[in-house]
Amino acid sequence: MKADPRGVLTGAHFIDGDVACAEGALAAGCRFAAGYPITPSTEVVERLAARFPRVGGLFIQMEDEIASSICLQGAVWGGVKAMTVTSGPGFSLMQEHIGLAAMTETPCVFVNVQRGGPSTGLPTLPGQADMMQVRWGSHGDYEVIALSPNSCQEAFDLTIDAFNLAERYRVPVFLMLDEVVGHMLERVVIPPADEIEVERRRYTKKPPGEYLPYEVPEGAWVPEMVRAGLGYKFHVTGLTHDERGYPVMNARTQEKLVRRLVEKILLNVEDIQRFEAIGLDDAELVVVAYGITSRVASRAVRLAREEGMKVGMLRLIVCWPFPERAIRDLAKQVRAFVVPELNYGQMVLEVERCAAGQAATRLVPHGGGAVHHPDRILEAIREAYSNG
């Protein structure tokens, strides 16, 4: 197994989604990972543990997911790109530190290979029931970015995107795989390193005496960073803080800080948002899907077209921030939305909210453990098409 100096394996490979994710992290410049083994995500860190020594990286198996989710943040402030990897139960344990990463604007990546829940649930079988938790799991007001690959190729590509977005906006970014994408084997094409766009960390050029850790440059939304140990004085805290990073306990500072944490994402949605539009030009009904469910739904959409129904699909690639404008625009044109999910209703609530009564919204639920049968989605399409 040969890699270039940046650690990128090039060419075509037959690998699973978890391994593709690990290779994407390496290609993005990740050189530190902390994690605790948990099915079905373990293969990501197994691959990293094997590959890191060849490129100067380090994997640490922590005692639990709580320790993992804070350890990677220390690594970021030490100057490296870092990630952690988990699944449902471990993701629940990480929520406090996700809020800390949002408040301290620590650029990092969390990979969640979803499985059936709640609790220990179905460790080796798929689910998509962590989609609302990734957005709302930690307390307080903040915004995150979450991506959902539906193939092994996208597991590679979107991991690179996740690191780039984390650096660009200084936020925790989430890669929401599912067990099927994580464990299925597919052809993945890895381009040469010089063809992969990698966002570099924005370190300050100011001397130590002039630098303020949370001062935002004119016309920007994101403060510049420094690496610990280079003579800069900085304070990183989860408390409400001023431009020095020092705690300031008043409403004025809270408003200034938290508004920026929210608006640096919401005012840049056009740069962040990604979705795939399939057959929407003449669609009278739209299926909204993501992850592995979108691949099953695509067959149902084709079958519906063969029956003469004008059906299209909006595949969510970036799930958060949610594509509100796209749904609102479609709601003015179509009869209904059909939303299949491996849960009992999560992203469908966002579709319904944005449709605002202009188009019907129908959930096709599934408790996880397996994927939908295309015929079940097709039947929901038929009913919504005739009743919409």
Neighbours of 358 (CB within 10 A): 13
Placement of tokens 């397996």 in the chain: 370
Whole-angstrom distance between the N-terminal and C-terminal Cα of the chain? 55
CA 388 to CA 382: how far, in whole Å? 10
CA 107 to CA 167: how far, in whole Å? 5
Q: What is the mean pLDDT of residues 17-44?
A: 97
Query: What does the pLDDT read at residue 127?
Result: 98
8 A C-beta contact, residue 153 and residue 20: yes
219 contact partners, CB below 8 Å, separation of at least 6: none
Query: What does the pLDDT read at residue 256?
Result: 96
Query: Where do the H-state alpha helices sit in 208-323?
Result: 251-266, 269-272, 291-306
- Whole-number percent of the chain with pLDDT over 70: 98
Q: DSSP 3-state helix, strand, coil percentages of the chain (rounded to 5)?
A: 40, 20, 40
Q: CA angle 98-82-119, nearest 5°?
A: 45
- Going from N- to C-terminal start, the domains of the chain cover 11-195, 276-387
What residues form DSSP beta bridges with 312? 286
Q: What is the mean pLDDT of residues 94-116?
A: 98
- Whole-number percent of the chain with pLDDT over 90: 93
Superfamily per CATH, domain 11-195: Thiamin diphosphate (ThDP)-binding fold, Pyr/PP domains (3.40.50.970)
Placement of tokens 């079988």 in the chain: 125
Residue 217: pLDDT over 90? no
pLDDT in tens, 355-365: 999 999 999 99
47 contact partners, CB below 8 Å, separation of at least 6: 18, 19, 22, 23
CATH of domain 276-387: 3.40.50.920
What residues form DSSP beta bridges with 176? 112
Residue 388: pLDDT over 80? no
Q: What is the mean pLDDT of residues 244-248?
A: 95
pLDDT bracket for residue 161 (50, 70, 90): very high
362 contact partners, CB below 8 Å, separation of at least 6: 336, 337, 338, 339, 380, 383, 384
